[in-house]
Structure 1
Amino acid sequence: MLYDIKLTISYDYERLADTGRHLLRLQPLNIEGEQRVVSSFLSVDPSPVERTDRVDFFGNSVVEIAYGDAHPDMRCSVRARVDRIQMPTTFDISTPVDRISDEAASVASLAHDAPCHFLGSSPRIALDPAMAAYGRDHVTAGMSTMEAVCAIGTALYNDMEFDPAATTADTPAAEAFARKRGVCQDFTHIMISCLRGISVPAGYVSGFLRTLPPEDGPRLEGADAMHAWVRAWCGLEFGWLEFDPTNALIVGSDHIVVARGRDYADVNPVNGAMRTSGDQTSHQAVDVIPLH
């Protein structure tokens, strides 16, 4: 499926910011066999005095910018065309979930997608007994890892409520889990903690979700902003499976990948520091247009 993507993220400052340095992870990824970036352009206004384009440890496209002059706002715009490859039907050749820990430990690698990076605590996720227990409660004897991932993700979809007013970007996963409500970031962090709690390697994916509703179904949550979902390692033969707990589905051609990491801290779309005072307001607009 071919998509045109438009993204704008803006920040308006109550008082001038007289310096700043930011990391931007906003452009779609080229992923062999999954998605192909036909074109992509990121513009920033006002123009920074420094700009460096590079790739981070997890293979994400990063643009580093710096400001030296006073500015009242900042606007980042992405225009991209992406070919999201239709993945074949997923056959379950995943490892039994009661053996996934041993199989993950057998992988002698520190590469960016090695399962060892996605098992313990990470900057935004602490292993939590309540979430680990929730994960165990939805795993039955003889389950494959793929079945366990889908069962936990679907259970969270059924037990939690999508509520943009319930949390902020800084709300801990444990707090959102206790409230049983939140947004896609919360659903994703909670599911990752549940999976790691039962020794299934799991990470965070940020990206876009197509804006058109599915045929004969409701409009998917998260379609007007950047979206988030889970990436779980299901064994040596199977590899990685991506699951969207906010919408209870295995990720397919409706999801466009921007960045992958251990949690939100690794894929934060706009991260950095500046010198200013007072409040700031931000706005995000995303348009994902299928091209027929």
Structure 2
Amino acid sequence: MIYEVHHRTTIRYEVPVAQARFNIRLRPYGWPGQSLIAQKLEFSPQPDEWRDEVGPYCINRSVIAFSGKLSELAIESRFTVDVAARSSVGEGPMLRQVRQEALDRRDLSVLSPAPYLFASRIADANSAIGDWAGELLSSDQPIVAAASSVMGAIHHDFAYRPGTTSSATPPAEAFDRREGVCQDFAHVMIVALRSQGIPAAYVSGYLRTVPPEGQERLVGADAMHAWVKVWCGAELGWLGFDPTNDCLALSEHILIAMGRDYADVSPIDGTFVGSAPQNMATAVDVIAQDNAV
């Protein structure tokens, strides 16, 4: 399926700020089964400095800087991407096999499971989440079923409530409250799986905005979405699991970046000199090409 994606963000400061620098992570990272056809990233005003980088992890980053005063910044990303259709993935090896294989591998590439086995800045270790995950999982489960059981438990036991959490909310707090948004659900699932020795990564991206006829619209389609990639052994590799919608991330999910947690893949972050309050507004459209106008 070919998708056209338009993402626009506007940042406004109550008073101008100085020496602003931003990291922009909106250019899709190359991923198996996902081909970038065209892409354009624009800024208004034009930055005084702009360089494009790859990494760390599975991330494309644009670093921009402004030497003068800045009161407003508009960021516009447009791209066309072809996502290969995929309806099934199989069961994969047993959980115990994946756990051992992840420990034994000596792969140091960006797709290595090693960086995703351990606690990270936001997805830190938590005994309560680990104990909860241990009750859901069995070493004799196929890995896809095991990850799906954690995904399903989050979907059914946690309430999707926008505005109750923020990007700074720890997974432990979202777990205790049993509520949050896609970012929180992804972090809880990551902590749960890592506690059982399963490599799990945080993915930022998009969902198809208009669903196929007869299907319900996925939650989170109006903004950037978050889900989890789980390393399911060398043969299956990384598979996507969306706990917000309780589904595999197949042909309706578009990957932008993959890292250890949200801190690695945040679409926009940066620094500036000043103390002005800021306001950020974002609009997202993801249209299947056969519905584009």
TM-score scaled by structure 2?
A: 0.96
Residues of 2 paired with 1:181 and 1:214: CA distance? 28
Residues of 2 paired with 1:20 and 1:54: CA distance? 18
**1:50 paired residue number:** 49
Residues of 1 paired with 2:104 and 2:13: CA distance? 50
**1:205 paired residue number:** 203
**1:186 paired residue number:** 184
| Displacement after TM superposition at 1:217 (Å) | 3.8
CA 1:56 to 1:99, structure 2 compared with 1: closer, same or farther past 3 Å?
same
**1:63 paired residue number:** 62
| Displacement after TM superposition at 1:286 (Å) | 0.4
Structural mapping, 1:20-169, within 5 Å: 20-32=20-32, 34-92=33-91, 94-140=92-138, 142-169=140-167
**2:268 paired residue number:** 270
Residues of 1 paired with 2:31 and 2:207: CA distance? 17
In structure 1, what residue type is equivalent to 2:128? A
TM-score scaled by structure 1?
A: 0.96
| Displacement after TM superposition at 1:223 (Å) | 0.6
Residues of 2 paired with 1:27 and 1:286: CA distance? 14
Structural mapping, 1:184-263, within 5 Å: 184-263=182-261
Residues of 2 paired with 1:119 and 1:234: CA distance? 13
Alpha-carbon displacement from aligned partner over 1:246-288 (angstroms, at most 9, x marks no partner): 0000011111110011111111101111112131111111000
| Displacement after TM superposition at 1:214 (Å) | 4.6
SS at match of 1:171: coil
| Displacement after TM superposition at 1:75 (Å) | 1.3
Residues of 2 paired with 1:64 and 1:264: CA distance? 18
SS at match of 1:153: helix
| Displacement after TM superposition at 1:141 (Å) | 5.5
Note if contact 2:90-2:144 (Cα within 8 Å) is conserved in structure 1.
no
Deviates more, 1:275-284 or 1:180-189: 275-284
CA 1:86 to 1:17, structure 2 compared with 1: closer, same or farther past 3 Å?
same
| Displacement after TM superposition at 1:235 (Å) | 1.3
| Displacement after TM superposition at 1:88 (Å) | 4.8
Taking only the aligned residue pairs, the percentage that are identical comes to 36
SS at match of 1:38: strand
Structure 1 alignment gaps of length 5 or more: none
Note if contact 2:219-2:245 (Cα within 8 Å) is conserved in structure 1.
yes
In structure 2, what residue type is equivalent to 1:131? I
Residues of 1 paired with 2:157 and 2:284: CA distance? 28
In structure 1, what residue type is equivalent to 2:90? F
SS at match of 1:18: strand
Alpha-carbon displacement from aligned partner over 1:60-107 (angstroms, at most 9, x marks no partner): 211110111101111110011111111252112x22112322211110
Q: CA RMSD in A?
A: 1.3
Note if contact 2:95-2:146 (Cα within 8 Å) is conserved in structure 1.
yes
Alpha-carbon displacement from aligned partner over 1:208-227 (angstroms, at most 9, x marks no partner): 10111354343211111000
Residues of 1 paired with 2:129 and 2:8: CA distance? 35
Structure 2 alignment gaps of length 5 or more: none
Runs of 4+ with >6 A deviation: none
In structure 1, what residue type is equivalent to 2:119? S
Note if contact 1:29-1:36 (Cα within 8 Å) is conserved in structure 2.
no
Residues of 1 paired with 2:177 and 2:212: CA distance? 29
